[in-house]
Amino acid sequence: MQERLKELQQEALEGVNKATGLKQLNDIRVSYLGKKGPITEVLKGMGKLSAEERPVMGALANEVRDAISAAIEEKQKLLEQAEIEEKLAKETIDVTLPGRPITQGNHHPLTSLIEEIEDLFIGMGYTIAEGPEVEQDYYNFEALNLPKGHPARDMQDSFYITEETLLRTHTSPVQARTMERNEEKGPIKIICPGKVYRRDNDDATHSHQFMQIEGLVIDENIRMSDLKGTLDVFAKKIFGEDREIRLRPSFFPFTEPSVEMDISCKICGGAGCSVCKGTGWIEILGAGMVHPNVLEMAGYDSKKYTGFAFGMGPERIAMLKYGVDDIRHFYTNDIRFLKQFAKHE
Ligand code: DAH
């Protein structure tokens, strides 16, 4: 019996030594140490041994079993390590290969320009206000001194959704909403950028959807000179310090007096060219002193408070600033056009 155990140990250790894979090693474990294995078989025969022999044989059998499992364990570690190394070797990454370049996008030119204008006004103490694009007739027209049937409504061909709702034709309704919302009926200083919609046929200078930025300042003693000073700063910061502005009388139902602001033409320096249509001036925006009716309708005391407002179109400003000749370029998303406005830092 002793012999048999020694033999088994020898055989098993040889097998372990030769094993080249984890599966093979596991088979060895099962066949030598398992319940149906030869060692168990040998131990079963212990009943026939004398009382003196039994503990000696038992101790030997345990020794053999321990030796085999220790050998298996050790080999298992080696094989596992080899497996990991093989995997690592197979999956090596060649870090010297040049990477695939990531194409980096850039802000849309209108987004950049609107942010530039926002920053400028935030620097002058304004906050940004927003309003809905699907607007009520009341805020889009009536609260701006444009009652139903007013002929000036035709200045802005509208997309009506129901009798009382439409896609806003300008960002001016945000003025009315902000004044109405102001519970103290106190000072306001906002600009409101956003999309507006008009029933226009698209061409080089018209789009059925475009952007506007509205400005509104309400306080005691706000005067036309405040408006002029503000617009002068705006024009010089956006178009260049050498630009002059001029205010021309105009008409908007929500302002009185109303003006349009022109900037001096940079291309001809005022001499007259095709861009300024020979006048030396280019129209940029509409503005004026907030009409007392507009203040009163929003609950303001028009004896105490005055204000100015202005509205501009970022597309037009971008076209002049960057020399773009067709408004549709901003909306057709031709990557060759958009890429020209990438800022390379
Ligand atoms: N809402 C006008 C338009 O879309 C632009 C405008 C003119 C806005 C004068 C104003 C303003 O706030 O005072 O044509």
Q: Pocket of ligand 1, candidates 126, 252, 289, 294: which has the most ligand atoms within 8 Å of its Cβ, to mutate?
A: 252
131 is a domain residue: yes
Q: pLDDT digit string (tens) for 54-88?
A: 888 888 888 888 888 888 888 889 888 988 988 99
100 is a domain residue: no
Q: pLDDT digit string (tens) for 115-157?
A: 999 999 999 999 999 999 999 999 999 999 999 999 888 777 8
Last residue of a domain, one of 32, 59, 90: 90
Whether residue 330 sits in one domain with residue 205: yes
Element (H, E) at 87: helix 53-90
Say whether the peptide bond before residue 132 is cis (omega within 30 degrees of 0).
no
Atom of ligand 1 nearest to the CA of 214: 12
Whether residue 319 sits in one domain with residue 185: yes
241 is a domain residue: yes
Nearest to 314 by CA among 330, 337, 325: 330
Whether residue 322 sits in one domain with residue 180: yes
Whether residue 118 sits in one domain with residue 80: no
Whether residue 171 sits in one domain with residue 53: no
**Span from the CA of 172 to the centroid of ligand 1 (angstroms):** 6
Query: For residue 83, what are the domain limits?
Result: 2-90
Per-residue confidence of the chain (345 residues) as pLDDT tens digits?
Answer: 778 888 888 888 888 888 888 888 888 888 888 888 887 877 787 788 888 888 888 888 888 888 888 888 888 898 889 889 889 989 888 889 888 888 888 999 999 999 999 999 999 999 999 999 999 999 999 999 999 999 888 777 899 999 999 999 999 999 999 999 999 999 999 999 999 999 999 999 999 999 999 999 999 999 999 999 999 999 999 999 999 999 999 999 999 999 999 999 988 888 888 888 899 999 999 999 999 999 999 999 999 999 999 999 999 999 999 989 999 999 999 999 999 998 754
Verify whether ligand 1 is closer than 6 Å to residue 172 (CB atom).
Answer: yes
Verify whether ligand 1 is closer than 6 Å to residue 310 (CB atom).
Answer: yes
Whether residue 116 sits in one domain with residue 71: no
**pTM beyond 0.85, yes or no:** no
Atom 12 (ligand 1): residue with closest C-alpha?
A: 310
Atom of ligand 1 nearest to the CA of 155: 14
**Span from the CA of 14 to the centroid of ligand 1 (angstroms):** 96
Give the total residue count for the chain: 345
Verify whether ligand 1 is closer than 6 Å to residue 317 (CB atom).
Answer: no
CA distance 15 to 275: 94
Last residue of a domain, one of 58, 90, 122: 90
Identity of residue 332: T
Whether residue 66 sits in one domain with residue 33: yes
Count of domains forming the chain: 2
Whether residue 78 sits in one domain with residue 181: no
DSSP track, 126-160: -EE----SEEEHHHHTGGGT--TT-GGGGGS--EE
Atom 4 (ligand 1): residue with closest C-alpha?
A: 170
Whether residue 229 sits in one domain with residue 123: yes
257 is a domain residue: yes
